[in-house]
Amino acid sequence: MGDLTEMFASMGIVAKTVVFALALMSVYSIGLGAERLFVFSMAKKQSTVLLRLISKLWQEGKVDESIKLASDQRFKNSHLAKVLVAGLNELQFQSDNNAPYSEQVESAKRAIDRATIKGVQEFKRGMSTLATIGSTGPFVGLFGTVFGIINAFSSMGETGSGGIGAVASGIAEALYTTGFGILVAVIAVWVFNALLNRVDIFTGEMANASSTLLDHFIKLKNKGA
Q: Is residue 224 part of a domain?
A: no
Structural domain boundaries, residue 205 = 2-216
Q: Is residue 68 part of a domain?
A: yes
Q: Is residue 16 part of a domain?
A: yes
Q: Which of 130, 110, 120 lies closest to 199, judged by CA?
A: 120
What tens digit of pLDDT does each residue of 63-112 get? 778 888 888 888 888 888 888 888 888 877 877 787 787 787 788 888 88
| Cα distance between residue 79 and residue 82, in whole Å | 6
For residue 225, pLDDT beyond 50: no
| Cα distance between residue 47 and residue 79, in whole Å | 7
Our count of domains for the chain comes to: 1
CB 50 within 8 A of CB 73: no
Which of 73-82, 115-124, 171-180, 181-190 has the highest mean predicted lDDT (pLDDT)?
A: 181-190
* C-alpha distance from residue 143 to each of 8, 109, 157, 178 (Å): 16, 50, 21, 8
Torsion of CA 48, 51, 52, 54, to 10 degrees: 150
Mean residue pLDDT of the chain comes to 82
Q: Is residue 222 part of a domain?
A: no
What tens digit of pLDDT does each residue of 191-212 get? 999 999 999 998 888 888 777 7
Q: Which of 70, 72, 53, 83 lies closest to 209, judged by CA?
A: 83
Q: Is residue 223 part of a domain?
A: no
Residue 35 has a pLDDT of: 94
Q: Is residue 38 part of a domain?
A: yes
Q: Cβ atoms within 10 A of the Cβ of 151, count? A: 21
Q: Is residue 128 part of a domain?
A: yes
Residue 17 has a pLDDT of: 86
Q: Is residue 193 part of a domain?
A: yes
* Helix/strand/coil percentages in the chain, nearest 5: 90, 0, 10
